[in-house]
Structure 1
Amino acid sequence: MIPYEEIRVPVTGGELAALRWPASDPDAPVVVALHGITANALSWAAVARLLAGRATLVAPDLRGRAGSAGLPGPYGIAAHADDAAALAGALGGGRVVLAGHSMGAFVAALAAVRHPGRFGEPVLVDGGFGFPAPTDLSADELLTAVIGPAMDRLSMTFPDRDAYRSFWRSHPAFGGDAWSPEVDAYIQRDLTGEEPALRSGCRLEAVRTDGVGLFQDEVLAAVRELPGPATLLWAQRGLMNEEQGLYDESRLAAAGQPGTNVRAVRVEGVNHYTVLTGGKGAGEVAGALLRAALPG
């Protein structure tokens, strides 16, 4: 895994932790990259490597996760969007490319709408287009429908780091050659506590608030209100490596994508996770970021 530096940026309530992979050229474009609902900044490590020094990538641990777990609420998609804008402002320079994976894609879309002068063309990775919430579900039922098994992990404890590694290696999305030293570092960054009671560092309150927030009207509308062009890279396969991904052409049509400024690109042979962490998926994401950063 290529080296990175840890930085901290003032935001409302404290400091946001972020990882920075610097470009070879100090004048190279800057990308701010946002992770998913129970992930952390190291989910972007493979993309950073494949950028190969052509852009600086800065990935925060979102409020309530990993290095930013100590940041207090309020949580929610809007709070993360404002944190992303504060981070971009602290980096200096001009507009930055904004990227997001899964929940991070919804944050990126909302940040681009709320802070149009701060960001360039967004790159959304298997997220950003949502669907109205079923009216017959409670908040907890809705959350289970959104992230399912990930919620169970947040209440589990593990005797040591190898046990956590084994837990993830048995996940259908990380089978075969999907595992890598970068994936290992990413999942290990999630842990907090001491043996024999290690646990995820994600704050349950933050995850609950953010999960329900994905169905708010402002969040659902953001991708249709983007001030300029954007790209969506959507994974062929789903969260559990199932054949049906989060999106397909019919689902995107139902979500209104054809009438937006967002160009949708299917990424073959990847699932919801490996579209970001696997070699093929990360390469597609890195290419999209460079095209957004260096148009023409």
Structure 2
Amino acid sequence: MIDRYRTVDVAVPGGALRVGVWDGPETDVAAPTVVLVHGVTASHLAWQLVADALPGMRVVAPDLRGRGRSNDLTGHAGMAQHADDLAAVFAALDIGPTVVVGHSMGAFASLVFAHRHPQLVSRLLLVDGGLPLAAPEGLSPAALVAAILGPTAARLDMRFAGEADYLDFWRAHPAFTADWSDELERYLAYDLVPAGTGYRPATSLQTVEEDTVDLNGGTALLGALAAIEQHSVEFVTVPRGLQNEAPGLYPPAHLETLLATYPSVSHERWDGFNHYTVVMGAEGAQRVAALIARQFTAVG
């Protein structure tokens, strides 16, 4: 359903934020809008399959600053800045209070957004992110990124001959051995930007370091967590991580502690997915879309 898709640029401090919008003439003018917020090295096209599974909704998903076609924005990132950028998207596209969905780092940014701009959020859906990670303490920013993201961060310093070279790199990735698709290829191709005589991933490693440190105990997140019971929050976790490894970002013992610490959060554990395929695999996207639809039913 790519004919529903368009992009707009929204003015934010330091430049313009690229925003993907799925609507089109077949979308009812009274249809609800859902806002989707991608992960730490991703872009708005990470949500293509989810958007396709929500044909009756207007789907809005930005490239966060430092990623995609928002990669040349000047100024610092961090969860508070991402939250305020999202508020600018709401204002530019005339979005009222609605369901906000965040995946990975986008879940942390969404939680902070709900805290800083509560009048714009009816319900929150956090997908494999948003609540504190089981990260080692006392690490330097680079070491913290390496501990959490591993090869995902290392890729940002790599250079590629072109799109085919980059797709071949990802075909060998353990997360996607059973979930390759045309939509995934489109997402990956979009990630490349020129770098000298070759290409590199659009995401800025400096921004990733800044954001990773901030989502692991930054003041904006701590404030949002302290007020989390003021929001309707659904939290989804999966058993496998960025390299399709177990136990994933939320090991069982850590998850149990989190759920006891934040009892107002409603939790679902979805077997059979890894950190990527829960939104970028066909089955995961269908399940996320169904859960999004349930959030709107709950609001109604």
TM-score tier by shorter-chain length is over 0.9
**C-alpha separation in 2, matches of 1:253 and 1:185:** 37
Task: Tell me by how many angstroms 1:131 deviates.
Answer: 3.9
Spell out, residue by residue over 1:168-209, the C-alpha distance to the aligned partner (whole angstroms, 9 max, x if none): 110000103x10011111111110016851111112221111
Match of 1:198, as an amino acid?
Y
Equivalent residue, structure 1, for 2:263: 260
Moved more, 207-216 or 162-171: 207-216
**C-alpha separation in 1, matches of 2:91 and 2:162:** 39
- Confirm or deny: 8 A CA contact 1:252 1:258 kept in the other structure: no
Spell out, residue by residue over 1:124-161, the C-alpha distance to the aligned partner (whole angstroms, 9 max, x if none): 11101114754432222112112111121111111121
**C-alpha separation in 1, matches of 2:72 and 2:155:** 19
Which residue of 28, 39, 44 corresponds with 2:42? 39
- Confirm or deny: 8 A CA contact 1:46 1:282 kept in the other structure: yes
Where 2:237 maps in the other structure, the secondary structure is strand
Equivalent residue, structure 1, for 2:84: 82
**C-alpha separation in 2, matches of 1:201 and 1:93:** 28
**C-alpha separation in 2, matches of 1:141 and 1:214:** 15
Match of 1:19, as an amino acid?
G
**C-alpha separation in 2, matches of 1:93 and 1:276:** 23
Equivalent residue, structure 2, for 1:241: 244
Task: Tell me by how many angstroms 1:260 deviates.
Answer: 3.4
Match of 1:179, as an amino acid?
W
- Confirm or deny: 8 A CA contact 1:231 1:264 kept in the other structure: yes
C-alpha distance 246-194 of structure 1, shift in aligned 2 (>3 A): closer
> TM-score scaled by structure 2?
0.92
Equivalent residue, structure 1, for 2:295: 292
Equivalent residue, structure 2, for 1:2: 2
Which runs of 5 or more residues in structure 2 are unaligned? none
**C-alpha separation in 2, matches of 1:68 and 1:122:** 24
Task: Tell me by how many angstroms 1:294 deviates.
Answer: 2.9
Task: Tell me by how many angstroms 1:261 deviates.
Answer: 2.4
Equivalent residue, structure 2, for 1:211: 212
Which runs of 5 or more residues in structure 1 are unaligned? none
Equivalent residue, structure 2, for 1:105: 107
**C-alpha separation in 2, matches of 1:278 and 1:257:** 30
**C-alpha separation in 2, matches of 1:34 and 1:113:** 15
**C-alpha separation in 2, matches of 1:171 and 1:164:** 11
- Confirm or deny: 8 A CA contact 1:11 1:86 kept in the other structure: yes
Where 1:57 maps in the other structure, the secondary structure is strand
Where 1:193 maps in the other structure, the secondary structure is strand
- Confirm or deny: 8 A CA contact 1:160 1:195 kept in the other structure: no
Task: Tell me by how many angstroms 1:273 deviates.
Answer: 0.2
C-alpha distance 93-110 of structure 1, shift in aligned 2 (>3 A): closer
Task: Give the length in aligned residue pairs.
Answer: 294
C-alpha distance 37-93 of structure 1, shift in aligned 2 (>3 A): closer
> TM-score scaled by structure 1?
0.93
- Confirm or deny: 8 A CA contact 2:19 2:62 kept in the other structure: yes
**C-alpha separation in 2, matches of 1:197 and 1:273:** 26
Task: Tell me by how many angstroms 1:221 deviates.
Answer: 5.0
- Confirm or deny: 8 A CA contact 1:214 1:220 kept in the other structure: no
Alignment map for 1:112-127 (pairs within 5 Å) = 112-127=114-129
Match of 2:129, as an amino acid?
G
Equivalent residue, structure 2, for 1:185: 186
CA RMSD of aligned residues (A): 1.8
Residue 269, structure 1, aligned to residue 260, structure 2: no
- Confirm or deny: 8 A CA contact 1:224 1:261 kept in the other structure: no
Spell out, residue by residue over 1:79-112, the C-alpha distance to the aligned partner (whole angstroms, 9 max, x if none): 1011111111222142121111000000001100
Where 1:98 maps in the other structure, the secondary structure is strand
**C-alpha separation in 2, matches of 1:2 and 1:257:** 42
- Confirm or deny: 8 A CA contact 2:79 2:221 kept in the other structure: yes
**C-alpha separation in 2, matches of 1:90 and 1:153:** 33
Task: Tell me by how many angstroms 1:13 deviates.
Answer: 2.0
C-alpha distance 223-99 of structure 1, shift in aligned 2 (>3 A): farther
- Confirm or deny: 8 A CA contact 1:172 1:240 kept in the other structure: yes
Match of 1:44, as an amino acid?
W
Alignment map for 1:168-183 (pairs within 5 Å) = 168-176=170-178, 178-183=179-184
